[in-house]
Structure 1
Amino acid sequence: MTTNTTNTSMQAPYYPIIYVRGFAATMSEIDETTADPYMGFNRGSSVLRQDHQCKPVSFIFESPLLRLIKDHQYVDAFQSGGYLDKPDAAQTRSIWVFRYYERASDLLGNGERVCMEQFALDLRCFILRVRSATCGDDPVKKAAFKVHLVAHSMGGLVCRCYLQNICRHGAPAGFDSNGLELAKKGPSPHLVDKMFTYGTPHNGIEVMGFNVPDLGPLDRFQISNFDRGRMREYLKISKKSVAVNSLDGAFEPENCFCFIGSNYKDYNAFFNLSKQATGPASDGLVMMANAYVEDAPRSVAYRSHSGTFGLVNSESGYQNLRRFLFGSIRITAKLQVKKVDLPPGVKQRYDNGDEVRGSYYFDTVTGVRAGPNYVLNERRYNHASALLRTFNELINEQKPVYLFTGYLTKDARQASDQALMFMIDFGVRIPLFEINRKFWFDEHFEGFMYQEHITLAIRDKTIRYGVSLQDGIGNAPHPAEITEENGLRKVCIPVGTDVNAKPGFQGHIELIVDDWN
């Protein structure tokens, strides 16, 4: 592919993109990934998981690499058999692949495995290399220089090691920091604008419910990179009270997006053993509960960790990526339940002082207009990915339920309508209650007690909504009352069953809308 080396100014949000691939266990896997110039970022897919008849259907997703080139005028940074290494020779809108496994391969390296701290130091060196290629010695460009980090699986942990360890504490003792522009004391600029992770085990990897162990010298494949004790070490987490999946003040959580998979069935690595060890509520390798950074925006898709139906080679993943990096508007949604009406028999026992327990599953699917082959977020009971909250959390503790964060882009507006359209499919399942720690089957029926399709139309000064049962799908005739605070627009969309329904619930979805980029 011929690269146009015309230089452009360093202007947000179109910074250089650096892709950081995931884990390779065996030396043959390391050599295989080393032999791939783009290390997987160039891989697409040609089938959707299934159509309405549960059969695979053809749909071409070219790859994140090609779509960024087509949709956002990025160029790849390879030319004439190598990187564009001449100072000020590469465009700002350029895509770079951090080939960190190359030094450890038999193919192009010395065959010696490298620790996470060294990978993170290598990333620092690579970022400075990208700065030189895009900025040269121009002080204005260098002052404005930033990159977007896009990482799959362990690549996200390499990025976190760079942000949380190297940029805050410098090179560890015994490691070479020559030429890395790291401060002798105190933090160094990390030069990162945003980070997007696909299926990264931010809280480690679990097998059969147990965190993988740190085997020390016996660990031939460096599985300990996913042991929470070892993670605390290379992430340099400040206190025991700070969670492993915390950025610990090194990077703003809102600038880190986590894309999470829920399809464990189609992950066939490790002779199909991995998906059997993790099971539902995972992507076949990483449990959903371990795949996000604390307080960071995130979404879920019915995709596996990698493979034909993987996270990186998916339209849903790409749409979340491009909207997070370049979008115009951010929407954060939370559910606030005001009232839950129990079935009559359960209500009577509850009023009599019996212990009542029940968990509510919330299905949430979000998408945009003219996006027929993808959704931005998909959490379904049938995929074992629905949100789960207990009766006590909803009613006694009044905890809001975080639903999703999504991003809209103004270039998706249609000429006939300047609104940014957004939809939410929302459903609440009937719980299987327990009374005095015994299942209560009387009057119990499986299914949803509430389902609704909500359409939102967001304009510069107004937000309107519609509900399908009343207004039809795609219509948003009702003006929402907007509360503005600190540049944020907040609206509440009422949801719930009829007030006389038993079981039933009433509440609202709170949407916070603000400018992004």
Structure 2
Amino acid sequence: MPTTSHQPYHPIIYVRGFAATQGEIEETVTDPYMGFNIGSTKARTAWTGDLKRFFFESPLVRLITDHDYHDVFENGEDLVASDRPDCIIPYRSIIIYRYYDEASKDFGTGETPPIEHFAKGLSELILRLRDKICANPKNSMTPEDFRVHLVAHSMGGLVCRAFLQNTKLGSEAARGAVDKLFTYATPHNGIDMRIVRNVPGWLSFGDANNFNRKRMAGYLGLSEDDDVSIVKNFPPERIFNLVGTNPRDYAAAGGISAWAAGDASDGLVRIENATTHGLGSDGLDVSSPRAFVHRSHSGPYGIVNSEEGYQNLTRFLFGTLRVDGILDIDDISLPIEVQKAFKAGKELRASYQFEVAVSVRGCQWQMTRREVRENSAIFRSYGDLFPGDDRTERLPNRAKSPHLFSIFLDSSKSVKTSGAVSFAFDIKVLVPDYEVDGLLFMKRHYEGGYILRELIMVEAFPDETALGGWRIKYGYQEVNPGKPGIDAVTRKLEGEEDRGIVFEIPVAQNTRPGVKGKLRIEARR
């Protein structure tokens, strides 16, 4: 990819989500920014114990104030849509893809076009923006070097994927200009509801059948047998999935939507349906980076108008280092009574839940959080982690090692003069459920307890003489609070030797029941 003086601050196109009724469409088109300008106010407990209000201005306002972006409205006119030759558009611009204008009775026909039409329109918008940007000599930009970021909410993410994946929808030049795609609460694997499961194809009200998997396969350029969350024709690692885990604050349809989507959802999109994956450059399946935040699909506690969402957005678009954490488990020990029952030939089943929360230094919010009480914890059975027959030696299955987090760090936001970036993650392995001969073993069970808990800090120092350009330290909070002091032994990341390093952090709970293993930390530039 060409490197320019603007990298990584490319123009941003925001693609809004689904509007079901004509009334919602008309309300949508009256807002110039189609929701990207909506903020939120929340109450937080200060160190004094007092409740104080926390204001999040909106993604639009923060991009303008934090990163010197500009909107494209001037004197009541959209400069991208204008045919005036004197329209000057700066490179750091935010453009709203107003695809619902055509469906409005005020601005269009009042008939909603299909999603394929919206995808083609996105392609046309990108090329028009490219020409406008390149026509401004202050931008010093050529069509070959022009790049754009796509940011989308809900169905907007499917519009973007249809354009990127389906070669019949739009031009190769426009697709080649897309650098990254960030999706908020997008139903990448469709929408499922209680009773009916996947939204039926015959449900044409408000084009809700756009979330039917058979319909999705058609506009995403996939076969009907394909997993519709798979990404083709675009690198899956350049798509970020922000997943909401709070259904209770989603008030659409009087709360019926939240009930129908279920607890493990954001009120509309189930957690299991909100992520993407695809083939990496090595031909192996890779998951897109993702984060989990306790926000609902939209509304006052919505995922777009949140500090957590904004921080993941900007660090993904502009950050310098991607870090992934994976827990490789080498051994899990059982309670003594359960171990005796197992040796006596009784049938044993066990399942484990993993919680994790990640925060960056100096901030009062979390980048990602997965918890049992928010129905977002990672679940593995003993058979997943150690496949094989009972009473035989079982080797760990690394393909099922829990992937704990993907975060992006931005050295420009460092609080240290060295440019060092630091984060901490709190990992818990909860007390498992044991089943002996079909009966739950509860003699030593305390709900909410855990068999492993560690708060670990990691700090990365820019160092061109170090492997991968980063010198890494880590530490355990219980040993040296707030100060990572152990030098990590890094090695090149297999298959990504030119830009990736990996190191391991040992973790162990030696008393029964316990866990032994290693936290595998992968860092990529």
- Could you tell me the TM-score, scaled by structure 2's length? 0.88
Q: Which moved more, 1:312-321 or 1:57-66?
A: 57-66
Q: Secondary structure at the match of 2:144?
A: helix
- 2 CA distance for matches of 1:415 and 1:433? 47
Runs of 4+ in 1 over 3 A off after TM superposition: 48-57, 85-88, 137-140, 187-190, 209-216, 415-418
Residues 1:118 and 1:53: Cα distance change in structure 2 (over 3 Å): farther
Aligned-pair RMSD on alpha carbons? 2.2
- 2 CA distance for matches of 1:482 and 1:97? 43
Unpaired runs of at least 5, structure 1: 1-8, 172-179
Structure 2 counterparts to residues 166-185 of structure 1, below 5 A: 168=167, 170-171=168-169, 182=171
Q: Secondary structure at the match of 1:19?
A: strand
Given candidates 195, 217, 230, the residue that maps to 1:246 is 230
Residues 1:132 and 1:416: Cα distance change in structure 2 (over 3 Å): closer
Aligned residue number for residue 6 of structure 1:
none
- How many correspondences in the alignment? 485
Residues 1:277 and 1:224: Cα distance change in structure 2 (over 3 Å): same
- 1 CA distance for matches of 2:11 and 2:92? 5
Aligned residue number for residue 21 of structure 2:
26
Structure 2 counterparts to residues 354-503 of structure 1, below 5 A: 354-372=346-364, 374-396=365-387, 397-398=396-397, 399-416=400-417, 418-446=419-447, 447-460=449-462, 461=466, 462-472=471-481, 474-485=482-493, 486=497, 487-497=499-509, 499=510, 501-503=511-513
- 2 CA distance for matches of 1:53 and 1:154? 42
AA paired with 1:292?
T
AA paired with 1:191?
A
- Quick check: 1:505 aligned with 2:496? no
- 1:67-119, Cα deviation, whole Å (9 max, x unpaired): 11111111111112122135672111000000111100123211101111011
| 1:444, distance to aligned residue in structure 2 (A) | 2.2
Q: Secondary structure at the match of 2:36?
A: coil
| 1:364, distance to aligned residue in structure 2 (A) | 0.6
Residues 1:277 and 1:59: Cα distance change in structure 2 (over 3 Å): same
| 1:215, distance to aligned residue in structure 2 (A) | 4.3
**Retained in 1: the 8 A contact 2:164–2:175?**
no
- Quick check: 1:299 aligned with 2:305? no
Aligned residue number for residue 263 of structure 1:
246
| 1:369, distance to aligned residue in structure 2 (A) | 0.8
**Retained in 2: the 8 A contact 1:364–1:426?**
yes
- 1:152-199, Cα deviation, whole Å (9 max, x unpaired): 00000000111111xx2x24xxxxxxxx6x47xxx9744210000000
- 1:129-154, Cα deviation, whole Å (9 max, x unpaired): 21122112989511111210000000
- 1 CA distance for matches of 2:505 and 2:416? 27
- Quick check: 1:212 aligned with 2:198? yes
- 1 CA distance for matches of 2:44 and 2:351? 29
- 1 CA distance for matches of 2:356 and 2:368? 7
Residues 1:157 and 1:327: Cα distance change in structure 2 (over 3 Å): same
AA paired with 1:228?
R
Q: Secondary structure at the match of 2:357?
A: strand
Aligned residue number for residue 309 of structure 2:
317
AA paired with 1:379?
R
AA paired with 2:197?
N
Q: Which moved more, 1:413-422 or 1:134-143?
A: 134-143
Q: Secondary structure at the match of 2:237?
A: helix
AA paired with 1:349?
A
Aligned residue number for residue 12 of structure 1:
7
**Retained in 1: the 8 A contact 2:429–2:453?**
yes
**Retained in 2: the 8 A contact 1:204–1:211?**
no
Q: Which moved more, 1:82-91 or 1:92-101?
A: 82-91
Given candidates 332, 335, 347, the residue that maps to 2:339 is 347
- 1:318-367, Cα deviation, whole Å (9 max, x unpaired): 00000000001110111101110111122122233433222211111001
Residues 1:333 and 1:126: Cα distance change in structure 2 (over 3 Å): same
Unpaired runs of at least 5, structure 2: 278-286, 388-395
- 2 CA distance for matches of 1:492 and 1:415? 25
- 2 CA distance for matches of 1:252 and 1:51? 42
Q: Secondary structure at the match of 2:324?
A: strand
AA paired with 1:463?
I
**Retained in 2: the 8 A contact 1:494–1:509?**
yes
**Retained in 2: the 8 A contact 1:49–1:309?**
no
- Could you tell me the TM-score, scaled by structure 1's length? 0.89
**Retained in 1: the 8 A contact 2:133–2:141?**
no
AA paired with 1:428?
V
- Quick check: 1:124 aligned with 2:135? no
**Retained in 2: the 8 A contact 1:316–1:376?**
yes
Aligned residue number for residue 325 of structure 2:
333
Residues 1:383 and 1:188: Cα distance change in structure 2 (over 3 Å): closer
| 1:402, distance to aligned residue in structure 2 (A) | 0.8
- Quick check: 1:112 aligned with 2:124? no
AA paired with 2:438?
R
- 2 CA distance for matches of 1:371 and 1:137? 38
- 2 CA distance for matches of 1:19 and 1:353? 60
AA paired with 2:266?
D
- 2 CA distance for matches of 1:26 and 1:301? 28
| 1:404, distance to aligned residue in structure 2 (A) | 1.1
| 1:507, distance to aligned residue in structure 2 (A) | 0.9
Residues 1:291 and 1:51: Cα distance change in structure 2 (over 3 Å): farther
Aligned residue number for residue 514 of structure 1:
524
- 1:21-49, Cα deviation, whole Å (9 max, x unpaired): 00110100010011011000001111157
AA paired with 1:352?
A
- 2 CA distance for matches of 1:435 and 1:412? 52
AA paired with 2:512?
K
- 1 CA distance for matches of 2:198 and 2:313? 29
- 1 CA distance for matches of 2:49 and 2:215? 43
- 2 CA distance for matches of 1:444 and 1:140? 63
- 2 CA distance for matches of 1:494 and 1:264? 36
- Quick check: 1:145 aligned with 2:146? yes
- 2 CA distance for matches of 1:293 and 1:56? 38
- 2 CA distance for matches of 1:238 and 1:448? 44
Q: Which moved more, 1:314-323 or 1:356-365?
A: 356-365
Aligned residue number for residue 282 of structure 2:
none
- 2 CA distance for matches of 1:303 and 1:503? 34
- 1 CA distance for matches of 2:417 and 2:121? 49
Aligned residue number for residue 3 of structure 1:
none
- 1 CA distance for matches of 2:176 and 2:437? 54
% identical aligned pairs: 39
